[in-house]
């Protein structure tokens, strides 16, 4: 394989850009066309979402990982090097988007000519706008018969203050007008501000693990140059490495002699440990330290779930699989955790439910690991008032991830729950239903804006635990799939939280305790009791399944005992004889209930703790 010479591309002929849009507006399809036009991949009918390489992306038809590719393009006699990053569209992966933008100087904002502006379009636009990047609006799917590009142009002008003349109308599927997008990229997006004479400064913005070569880091060079044999140091771990290979990604790895300032590529430097390639890390030459780049603020997990191996002997294998997967998906936080029923495991923090499902699916497909995921919870906070507890924790404000650590009401001045600011974009005929749904979820309306005569943008402040499980599904089914939803973190607010215990014959079951808002306690308690009644096998004595808040029982189901028909041998005779036999049986059952203890089988736990899909 011939190594490329990258020195022919000076800084002024480099353009770094990413493609951002709402889900399914055609980002990956546009990326395919750009790759074909620049001759990076051959033109065939098989090129469908070439950059979505993971199996889970192929199956679900969504982008999960941001992928980069370098394109070579000749415009007016000058050879340009374009580094393209294709980003995901779901709100759960907005961390990938904000990371990708750090390596870019401009973005292509794709909007569907049929759907118009949706919630994620707005969110991604502001990410790019805050990063002060050049924005090229592109209206895609003009080949559809319902497409209405004029309406979309007006929306873009109204919401984003971008003049109508700047919008490029394309059809990525058929390749109409895509060439124009490349010309716009070259004209509108500035080259990176850096110099090859400066000392080496490289930002690690993504990394993957390869069984044979160790960690492969994707880097963006902000200064200097790097080649095989250079000694480099990581600013984060202070460890020294020797560079084995550098190159560019033309989706596939293409080794080069050297990478120069302003270019984006990959680097292999014999990093053996998964933890060594921290995303957001700065690399520099040995003995030439530089000021580290600001890096990324770490992602804030929104949803926590317990993850346990199905069989405890698999613990170590799962541990190494988790380490490798979190290297590739750095937005997952991992804490050790253990539970009486499920053994040793982890408490993982995800950015949302889809993120959690995709992570689980990748564990199964890429590492053959089957795991138990418990029901998702959100992180609460408590402000302590008792001096003894403050001394114990060392601070007055504590974060509660596990219901077992929930402090008693007497020693707490207030409980706080996480909130998010949700944006809903919907056709106006569904407003009534959606407002009712939001009020049911304890949301507070902040803003309501008509984007044009048919679409409305609503802003609500939601408690996170109300939207975490099934809000999105409910919203989609109410609005026949037209409404779109996006949220961002909005800090904590005071809430009336309680801890609900589940008792079996008066004994609390630690794994089933949950933290909920007092308004929702009764409904949740009843649901859990009913589900447990179906899951626990019957015994020879009766089992009382109760939901309790403190000392107060709020819901109860009774699992009846198996019993022998003791009156089968009575034919006629006096009633007192029957009563005597039944009474004797009842006494026996009572004694049994005192000494018998209820073992909840493991699969019953799994059935109850799994996500509640049967609501």
User: What is the model's pLDDT at position 602?
Assistant: 66
- Least confidently predicted of 38-47, 368-377, 385-394, 568-577: 38-47
Instruction: Give the Cα separation of 428 and 177 in Å (integer).
Output: 33
User: What is the model's pLDDT at position 615?
Assistant: 42
Closest CA to 123 of 487, 615, 517, 417: 487
- Backbone phi, psi, residue 132, to 5°: 55, 50
Q: Which two tokens stand for residue 196?
A: 């090859």
Cα Rg of the chain, angstroms: 29
CB-based contact 209:274 (threshold 8 Å)? yes
- Least confidently predicted of 427-431, 524-528, 599-603: 599-603
Arithmetic mean of pLDDT, 277-301? 76
From the candidate CATH numbers 3.30.70.240, 3.50.50.60, 3.40.50.1980, 3.40.50.720, the one assigned to the domain spanning 380-495: 3.30.70.240
Q: Specify the 3-state DSSP secondary structure of 288.
A: coil
For 303-372, CATH gives 3.30.70.870
Q: Which two tokens stand for residue 123?
A: 């969110």
Instruction: Give the Cα separation of 125 and 135 in Å (integer).
Output: 8
Give the Å distances, CA to CA, from 121 to 132, 146, 181, 511. 17, 20, 18, 40
Arithmetic mean of pLDDT, 405-419? 86
Q: Specify the 3-state DSSP secondary structure of 53.
A: coil
Instruction: Give the Cα separation of 26 and 108 in Å (integer).
Output: 12
Taking only the tens place, the pLDDT of each residue in 324-358 is 787 777 778 888 887 766 778 888 888 877 888 88
Instruction: Give the Cα separation of 609 and 603 in Å (integer).
Output: 10
Q: Which two tokens stand for residue 352?
A: 């949302």
Give the Å distances, CA to CA, from 299 to 279, 280, 446, 512. 11, 12, 25, 28
User: What is the model's pLDDT at position 553?
Assistant: 92
CB-based contact 529:502 (threshold 8 Å)? yes
What kind and span of H or E run contains 602? Answer: helix 602-609
pLDDT tier at 219 (50, 70, 90 boundaries)?
Answer: confident
Which CATH superfamily includes the segment(s) 201-285? Translation factors (2.40.30.10)
Name the residue with higher pLDDT: 10 or 110.
Answer: 110
- Strands (DSSP E) found in 146-300: 168-169, 201-210, 214-223, 225-227, 231-234, 240-242, 245-250, 252-256, 258-260, 264-268, 282-285
pLDDT tier at 40 (50, 70, 90 boundaries)?
Answer: low
CB-based contact 182:38 (threshold 8 Å)? yes
Taking residue 455's Cβ as centre, other Cβ atoms within 10 Å add up to: 20
Taking residue 54's Cβ as centre, other Cβ atoms within 10 Å add up to: 18
**2 pLDDT higher than 70:** no
Taking residue 468's Cβ as centre, other Cβ atoms within 10 Å add up to: 23
CA angle 548, 551, 552 (to 5 degrees): 55
pLDDT tier at 593 (50, 70, 90 boundaries)?
Answer: confident
- Least confidently predicted of 41-50, 60-69, 236-245, 334-343: 41-50
With 0-12 CB in 10 A as exposed, 13-18 as middle and 19+ as buried, what is 427?
A: middle
- List, in order, residues 6 or more apart from 216 with CB less than 8 Å away: 207, 208, 209, 210, 253, 266, 267, 268
Q: Where are the alpha helices (DSSP H) in 50-139?
A: 55-60, 94-101, 119-130
Arithmetic mean of pLDDT, 170-180? 83
For a pLDDT cut of 90, what percent of the chain falls above it? Answer: 2
303-372 and 380-495: identical CATH topology: yes
Task: Given CATH 3.30.70.2570, say whether it is the number of domain 499-609.
Answer: yes
**558 pLDDT higher than 60:** yes
**292 pLDDT higher than 80:** no
Residue-wise DSSP of 415-469: EEEEEEEEEEEEEGGGHHHHHHHHHHTT-EEEEEEESSSSEEEEEEEEEHHHHTT
User: What is the model's pLDDT at position 539?
Assistant: 82
User: What is the model's pLDDT at position 613?
Assistant: 45
**276 pLDDT higher than 80:** no
Q: Which two tokens stand for residue 243?
A: 């560079």
SS3 letters for 577-593?
HHHHHHHHHHHHHHHHH
pTM: 0.73
- List, in order, residues 6 or more apart from 414 with CB less than 8 Å away: 382, 383, 494
Taking only the tens place, the pLDDT of each residue in 450-482 is 877 778 888 999 888 888 777 877 887 888 777
Instruction: Give the Cα separation of 138 and 108 in Å (integer).
Output: 7
Name the residue with higher pLDDT: 401 or 129.
Answer: 129
pLDDT tier at 610 (50, 70, 90 boundaries)?
Answer: low
- What pairing do the DSSP bridges indicate for beta strands 245-250 and 303-309? unpaired
Instruction: Give the Cα separation of 331 and 18 in Å (integer).
Output: 20
- Least confidently predicted of 268-272, 276-280, 364-368, 485-489: 276-280
Give the Å distances, CA to CA, from 581 to 316, 564, 572. 56, 11, 14
CA pseudo-torsion sign 452, 177, 166, 20: positive
**614 pLDDT higher than 50:** no
From the candidate CATH numbers 2.30.29.30, 3.40.50.1360, 3.40.50.10860, 3.40.50.300, the one assigned to the domain spanning 6-188: 3.40.50.300
Kindly state the DSSP code that residue 329 receives in the 8-state scheme.
S
Q: Domain ranges in the chain?
A: 6-188, 201-285, 303-372, 380-495, 499-609
Closest CA to 197 of 225, 157, 237, 219: 225
Arithmetic mean of pLDDT, 165-192? 84
Q: Which two tokens stand for residue 289?
A: 């330290």
**245 pLDDT higher than 80:** yes
Arithmetic mean of pLDDT, 414-434? 87
- List, in order, residues 6 or more apart from 246 with CB less than 8 Å away: 226, 227, 228, 255, 256, 258, 259, 265, 266, 267, 268
Buried/exposed code over 319-344 (b: 16+ C-beta within 10 A; e: otherwise): eebbebbbbbbbbbbeeebebebbee
Instruction: Give the Cα separation of 321 and 315 in Å (integer).
Output: 10
Average pLDDT score, the chain? 82
Instruction: Give the Cα separation of 467 and 540 in Å (integer).
Output: 41
Q: Which two tokens stand for residue 96?
A: 């990938």
């Amino acid at each position: 394989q011939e190594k490329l010479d990258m020195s022919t591309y000076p800084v002024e002929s480099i353009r770094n850009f990413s493609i951002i849009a709402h889900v399914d507006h055609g980002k990956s399809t546009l990326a395919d066309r750009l790759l074909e036009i620049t001759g990076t991949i051959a033109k065939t009918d098989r090129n469908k979402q070439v950059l979505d390489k993971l199996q889970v992306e192929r199956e679900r038809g969504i982008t999960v990982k941001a992928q980069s590719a370098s394109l070579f393009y000749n415009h007016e006699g000058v050879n340009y090097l374009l580094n393209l990053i294709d980003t995901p569209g779901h709100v759960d992966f907005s961390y990938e988007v904000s990371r990708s933008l750090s390596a870019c100087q401009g973005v292509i904002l794709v909007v569907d000519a049929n759907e118009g502006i949706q919630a994620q379009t707005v969110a991604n636009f502001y990410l790019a706008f805050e990063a002060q990047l050049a924005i090229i609006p592109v209206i895609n799917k003009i080949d559809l018969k319902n497409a209405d590009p004029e309406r979309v142009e007006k929306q873009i002008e109204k919401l984003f203050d971008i003049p109508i003349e700047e919008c490029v109308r394309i059809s990525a599927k058929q390749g109409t007008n895509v060439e124009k997008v490349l010309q716009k990229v070259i004209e509108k997006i500035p080259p990176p501000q850096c110099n090859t004479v400066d000392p080496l400064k490289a930002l690690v913005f993504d990394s993957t693990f390869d069984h044979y070569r160790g960690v492969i880091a994707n880097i963006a060079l902000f200064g200097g140059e790097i080649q095989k044999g250079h000694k480099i140091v990581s600013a984060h771990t202070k460890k020294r490495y020797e560079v084995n290979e550098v190159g560019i990604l033309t989706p596939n790895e293409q080794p080069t002699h050297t990478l120069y300032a302003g270019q984006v590529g990959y680097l292999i430097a014999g990093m053996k440990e998964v933890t060594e390639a921290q995303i957001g890390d700065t690399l520099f030459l040995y003995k030439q330290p530089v000021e580290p780049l600001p890096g990324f603020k770490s992602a804030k997990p929104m949803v926590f779930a317990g993850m346990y191996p199905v069989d405890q002997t698999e613990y170590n294998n799962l541990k190494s699989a988790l380490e490798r997967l979190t290297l590739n998906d750095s937005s997952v936080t991992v804490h050790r955790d253990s539970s009486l029923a499920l053994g040793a495991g982890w408490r993982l923090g995800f950015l949302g439910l889809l993120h959690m499902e995709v992570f689980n699916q990748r564990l199964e497909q890429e590492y053959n690991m089957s795991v138990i995921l418990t029901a998702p919870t959100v992180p609460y906070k408590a402000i302590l008032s008792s001096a003894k507890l403050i001394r114990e924790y060392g601070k007055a404000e504590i974060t509660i991830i596990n219901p077992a650590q929930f402090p008693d009401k007497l020693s707490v001045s207030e409980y706080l729950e996480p909130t998010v600011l949700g944006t809903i974009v919907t056709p106006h005929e569904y407003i009534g239903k959606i407002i009712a749904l939001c009020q049911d979820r304890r949301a507070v309306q902040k803003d309501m804006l008509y984007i044009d005569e048919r679409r409305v943008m609503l802003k609500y402040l939601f408690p996170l635990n109300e939207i975490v499980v099934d809000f999105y599904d409910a919203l989609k089914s109410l609005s026949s799939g037209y409404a779109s939803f996006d949220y961002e973190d909005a800090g904590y607010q005071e809430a009336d939280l309680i801890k609900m215990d589940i008792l079996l014959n008066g004994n609390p079951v630690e794994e089933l305790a949950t933290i909920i808002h007092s308004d929702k306690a009764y409904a949740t308690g009843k649901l859990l009791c009913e589900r447990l009644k179906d899951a626990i096998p019957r015994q020879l004595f009766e089992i009382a399944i109760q939901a309790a808040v403190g000392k107060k029982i709020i819901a109860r189901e009774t699992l009846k005992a198996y019993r022998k028909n003791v009156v089968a041998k009575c034919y006629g005779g006096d009633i007192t004889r029957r009563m005597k036999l039944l009474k004797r049986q009842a006494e026996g059952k009572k004694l049994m209930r005192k000494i018998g203890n209820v073992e909840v089988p493991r699969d019953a736990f799994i059935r109850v703790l799994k996500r509640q899909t049967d609501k």
